[in-house]
């Protein structure tokens, strides 16, 4: 943290300048906007700015957004924002074009008997949705309603409060399609769903299926750059040589879905040779002996036969780890290898938390840290009435008992809709149908609902399944609640309103959910504006909305992280648990042992289909953004990757068109032949294959991995197992 950073204290001492907002609007297409920007003189004269946060991925990087004559003219990343640290990525710069997209939803829509959407008024939409919610509550109770969302910061608050007010516990994030197995597996061992590798101070850092150079968060990339500059040993375990390789010392092209064998074998070496932190383990761990007995036979030779990493490398890496410890760890990853991909993802996450414990690296400099965060305190109940916690259990929590309770198994709620138990579903900033599991299956699930409401800014595949589509204004057109970010120095950032409303009949989420709550008879829980709530939340930590508006980000140095402080383990035993009763109840061994992935490719023309991010796209939400799709087209980025030796065996050359098929789907695309991929897999970039004709830029470009994915969930953890896919690939015309 720079000395110039704005802290809560320095702010209170009165440090900041004044922001003001332009208020001009008018619809303008992206092409016209681009031309107007090109025609603009370079000077900042007459421009205004407000602090906002990017919405193009989960990182929500903070920036200063300049407005000139009502149009966005410039973005300057905020140096003090926890995730941006003075940089934003290509998506951050390109995504604001969506504000001016001709495909924006402009009015509330209702599906008629012919299955076509008709424009209706907000009053009609609220009234009819409210009546249908009340009817479902009367006939089936609040358990028959569900919400899927993962927006931040306002959306998460308002959608949760709305569901709480209706009495429904069925509140889901996108987690089951992202990192539910990681969060849930870690929780079993360390009682926390995540940790932060102290990358910049590390002597040795291993990434298992995490690519900070493709799946970008600027702060993570900057930390890796520092580690590399400091001479840290950086090891990348990935079936694909991803773009982080520029900072890496080694690439281990593991067979997909087999990292667990690699991890158990490295643990075996540490224990066999007595080079783990025995004192730390003796003091902090329950179940070490069971784990040690379980990995006794997990030799490097055993692992090599499964994961493809040479036994000698496994031996050497374990020793190198022990020498670098405690300034060493395996990074927490995000999604790539054990977030939601395989039948063994949750158990792989457990094995990582165990391995880091053997290094004794928790909260050590250069190790793996639990960083502090600050959250809003208690608010005046008169103005912000508390909502009673819903009774009953979240749908899916019994069937998938290891699943993180805050995330929940979103697609299982959809499954229960198909089975008739869930009657009404809401989606906010979520495209479940295209992105979470098999789209045909998920569409059938949503078709079975009595009521499906989607709040989006464009016609997503999920919105196409809705009875009502409610248009939100874009992220640059709304003020949101403050975002409290954890970190070595925790901080709070703001998404302020930058632009005036572009389409007059769109609304921000706080107004939409307040309106829905009133129509559903629970409006008494929303007697405040977003400004009032934001200000109250900030006052509870000694700040104010005015204060944050002026600077965008304020930090809390008095809550800063301290090395060496023992973490509090929020596990049943209050120790680190190498063994878990919950895992046993779900059918796993007490301590993590080998679990095979669900499918294994047979060779010949059969491959496992895997995916991973491309730096210029996010999930399903950016493909319809013209400047970002232009990069795809310029660099021919929809191609499927295939290992060069396998391609040669199959007579496939770079650029050839191939047919990819399995029992779920058949599609065609061109091939990128490369040595940068494990031979057992093909790698499909994940942002393409949009099937909504109303997304004119994205529609029909490239293939979508979920089309090839069967609907199936990971035992106990409930992830969608997004890489348990076998496909055959053949050259078109061969
Ligand atoms: N550009 C971009 N950045 C993003 C996002 C985005 O959509 N686009 N989204 C954000 C979000 S929500 C997330 S969850 C993160 C995801 O962040 P990451 O998890 O880092 O992203 P991925 O690219 O999905 O996966 C990383 C790598 O895992 C590899 N991998 C696949 N299977 C295996 C396996 O079996 N074993 C191993 N060891 N590796 C494997 C892939 O080849 C890929 O290179 O990215 C965040 N940042
Ligand atoms: N095909 C594919 N599937 C994926 C992934 C992938 O990369 N490709 N990634 C996986 C991962 S890591 C994750 S985290 C999940 C993410 O899954 P989601 O969180 O569902 O993200 P998206 O698929 O991008 O869909 C977001 C939806 O929100 C809409 N939206 C954008 N801005 C706004 C806004 O301001 N307001 C509202 N109301 N809506 C808005 C977009 O138009 C889009 O329809 O997807 C998972 N599934
Ligand atoms: S990493 Fe890029 S896309 Fe994600 S929030 Fe930051 S700037 Fe936006
Ligand atoms: Mo994600």
Residues near ligand 1 with C-beta < 6 Å?
Answer: 57-58, 178-179, 208-211, 214-217, 237-240, 242, 254, 256-257, 259, 333-337, 341, 610, 612-615, 617-619, 723
Beta strands at 483-485 and 491-493: parallel, antiparallel or unpaired: antiparallel
- Specify the number of domains making up the chain: 3
Indicate whether 296 and 331 sit together in one domain: yes
| Bridge partner list, 204 | 233, 328
pTM over 0.85: yes
Mutation probe of ligand 2 site: the residue of 147, 413, 429, 498 with most atoms within 8 A of C-beta = 429
> Does the beta carbon of 477 sit less than 6 angstroms from any atom of ligand 2?
no
Q: Whose Cα sits closest to atom 43 in ligand 2?
A: 621
Q: What stretches of 321-403 adopt beta strand conformation (E)?
A: 328-330, 368-369
Residue 117 lies in a domain: no
Closest ligand 3 atom number to CA of residue 91:
3
Residue 715 lies in a domain: yes
Give φ, ψ of 425 to 5 degrees. -130, 140
pLDDT at 151: 80
> Does the beta carbon of 493 sit less than 6 angstroms from any atom of ligand 2?
no
> Does the beta carbon of 410 sit less than 6 angstroms from any atom of ligand 2?
no
Indicate whether 254 and 341 sit together in one domain: yes
Residue 70 lies in a domain: yes
Q: Whose Cα sits closest to atom 30 in ligand 2?
A: 429
Q: Which two tokens stand for residue 454?
A: 């989607």
pLDDT at 36: 55
Indicate whether 329 and 232 sit together in one domain: yes
Indicate whether 199 and 84 sit together in one domain: no
Divide the 734 residues of the chain into consecutive groups of 10 and give the mean pLDDT of each group. Answer: 47 30 35 56 73 96 93 93 95 96 98 97 98 98 97 93 98 98 98 98 98 96 96 98 96 98 98 98 98 98 98 98 98 98 98 98 98 96 96 97 98 98 98 98 98 98 98 98 97 97 97 98 98 98 97 97 96 98 98 98 97 97 97 97 98 98 98 98 97 98 98 98 98 88
Indicate whether 307 and 205 sit together in one domain: yes
Indicate whether 543 and 568 sit together in one domain: no
Indicate whether 617 and 578 sit together in one domain: no
Closest ligand 3 atom number to CA of residue 53:
5
Q: Which of 40, 33, 94, 70 is nearest to 497 (CA)?
A: 70
| Bridge partner list, 49 | 20, 66
Output the CA 83–ligand 3 centroid distance in Å: 8
Separation between Cα atoms, residue 161 and residue 387, nearest integer Å: 7
Q: Quote the domain boundaries for residue 710.
A: 606-731
Output the CA 367–ligand 1 centroid distance in Å: 22
| Bridge partner list, 369 | 196
Separation between Cα atoms, residue 6 and residue 93, nearest integer Å: 24
Indicate whether 647 and 727 sit together in one domain: yes
Residue 710 lies in a domain: yes
Indicate whether 543 and 631 sit together in one domain: no
Give φ, ψ of 629 to 5 degrees. -65, -30
CATH number at residue 283: 3.40.228.10
Residues near ligand 3 with C-beta < 6 Å?
Answer: 54, 56-57, 59-61, 83, 88-89, 91-92, 216-218
pLDDT at 263: 99
Q: Whose Cα sits closest to atom 25 in ligand 1?
A: 336
Residue 230 lies in a domain: yes
CATH number at residue 618: 2.40.40.20
pLDDT at 39: 58
Residue 148 lies in a domain: no
Q: Whose Cα sits closest to atom 3 in ligand 3?
A: 56
Indicate whether 8 and 22 sit together in one domain: yes
Output the CA 433–ligand 3 centroid distance in Å: 23
Output the CA 622–ligand 3 centroid distance in Å: 11
Cα dihedral sign, 99-335-640-224: positive
Residue count (the chain): 734
Residue 12 lies in a domain: yes
Mutation probe of ligand 3 site: the residue of 63, 64, 217, 334 with most atoms within 8 A of C-beta = 217
Indicate whether 272 and 253 sit together in one domain: yes
Residue 219 lies in a domain: yes
pLDDT at 46: 67
Task: Find the DSSP H helices in 557-618.
Answer: 581-585
Buried b (16+ CB within 10 A) or exposed e, 529-545: ebeebbbbbbbebebeb
Indicate whether 282 and 321 sit together in one domain: yes
Give φ, ψ of 172 to 5 degrees. -130, 145
């Amino acid at each position: 943290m720079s000395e110039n950073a704005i802290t809560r204290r320095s702010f209170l001492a009165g440090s900041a300048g004044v922001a003001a907002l332009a208020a001009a609007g008018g619809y303008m297409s992206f092409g016209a906007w681009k031309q107007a920007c090109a025609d603009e003189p370079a000077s900042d004269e007459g421009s205004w700015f407000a602090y906002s946060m990017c919405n193009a991925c989960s990182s929500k990087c903070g920036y200063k957004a300049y407005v000139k004559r009502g149009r966005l003219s410039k973005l300057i990343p905020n140096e003090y924002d926890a995730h941006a640290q003075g940089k934003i990525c290509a998506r951050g710069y390109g995504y604001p074009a969506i504000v001016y997209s001709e495909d924006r939803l402009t009015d509330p829509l209702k599906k008629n008997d012919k299955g076509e959407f008709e424009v209706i008024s907000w009053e009609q939409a609220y009234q009819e949705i409210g009546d249908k919610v009340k009817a479902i509550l009367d006939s089936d109770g609040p358990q028959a309603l569900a919400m899927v969302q993962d927006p931040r910061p306002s959306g998460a608050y308002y959608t949760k409060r709305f569901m709480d007010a209706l009495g429904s516990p069925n509140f889901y994030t996108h987690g089951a399609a992202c990192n539910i197995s990681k969060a849930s597996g870690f929780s079993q061992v360390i009682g926390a769903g995540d940790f932060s590798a102290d990358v910049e101070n590390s002597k040795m850092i291993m990434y298992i299926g995490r690519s900070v150079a493709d799946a970008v968060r600027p702060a993570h990339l900057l930390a890796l750059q520092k580690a590399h500059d400091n001479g840290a040993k950086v090891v990348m375990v990935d079936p694909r040589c991803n773009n982080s390789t520029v900072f890496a010392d080694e690439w281990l092209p593991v067979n997909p879905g087999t990292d667990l064998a690699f991890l158990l074998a490295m643990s075996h070496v540490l224990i066999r040779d007595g080079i783990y932190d025995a004192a730390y383990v003796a003091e902090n761990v329950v179940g070490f002996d069971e784990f040690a007995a379980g990995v006794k036979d997990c030799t490097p030779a055993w692992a090599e036969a499964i994961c493809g990493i040479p036994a000698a490398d496994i031996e050497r890496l374990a020793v190198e780890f022990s020498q670098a410890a405690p300034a060493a760890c395996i990074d927490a990853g995000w999604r790539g290898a054990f977030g939601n991909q395989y039948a063994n993802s949750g158990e792989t996450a457990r094995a990582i938390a165990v391995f880091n414990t053997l290094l004794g690296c928790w909260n050590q400099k250069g190790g793996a840290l639990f960083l502090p965060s600050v959250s809003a305190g208690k608010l005046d109940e008169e103005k912000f009435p508390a909502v009673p916690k819903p009774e009953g259990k979240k749908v899916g929590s019994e069937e998938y008992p290891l699943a993180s309770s805050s995330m929940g198994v979103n697609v299982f709620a959809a499954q229960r809709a198909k089975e008739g138990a869930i009657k009404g579903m809401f989606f906010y900033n979520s495209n479940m149908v295209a992105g979470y599991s098999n789209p045909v299956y998920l569409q059938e699930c949503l078709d079975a609902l009595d009521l499906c409401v989607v709040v989006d800014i464009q016609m997503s595949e999920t919105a196409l399944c809705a009875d009502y589509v409610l248009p939100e204004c874009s992220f640059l057109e709304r003020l949101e609640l403050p975002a409290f970010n954890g970190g070595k120095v925790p901080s709070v950032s703001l998404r302020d309103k930058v632009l005036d409303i572009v389409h007059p009949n769109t609304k921000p989420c706080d107004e939409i959910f307040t309106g829905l709550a009133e129509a559903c008879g629970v409006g008494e829980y929303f007697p405040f504006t977003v400004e009032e709530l934001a200000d109250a939340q900030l006052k509870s930590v000694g700040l104010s909305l005015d204060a944050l508006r002026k600077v965008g980000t304020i930090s809390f140095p008095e809550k800063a992280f301290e090395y060496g402080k023992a973490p509090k383990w929020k596990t049943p035993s209050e120790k680190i648990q190498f063994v878990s009763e919950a895992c046993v109840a779900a059918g796993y061994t007490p301590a993590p042992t080998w679990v095979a992935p669900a499918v294994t490719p047979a060779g010949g023309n059969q491959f496992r289909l895997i995916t991973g991010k491309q730096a210029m796209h996010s999930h399903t939400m950016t493909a319809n953004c013209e400047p970002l799709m232009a990069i795809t087209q310029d660099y021919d980025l929809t191609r499927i990757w295939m290992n060069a030796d396998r391609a040669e065996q199959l007579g496939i050359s770079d650029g050839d068109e191939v047919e990819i098929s399995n029992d779920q789907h058949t599609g065609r695309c061109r091939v990128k032949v490369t040595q940068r991929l494990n031979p057992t897999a093909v790698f499909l970039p994940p942002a393409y294959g949009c099937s909504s004709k109303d997304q004119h830029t994205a529609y029909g470009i490239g293939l979508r991995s979920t089309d090839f994915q069967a609907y199936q969930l990971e035992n106990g953890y409930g992830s969608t197992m997004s890489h348990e896919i076998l496909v055959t690939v053949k050259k078109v015309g061969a």
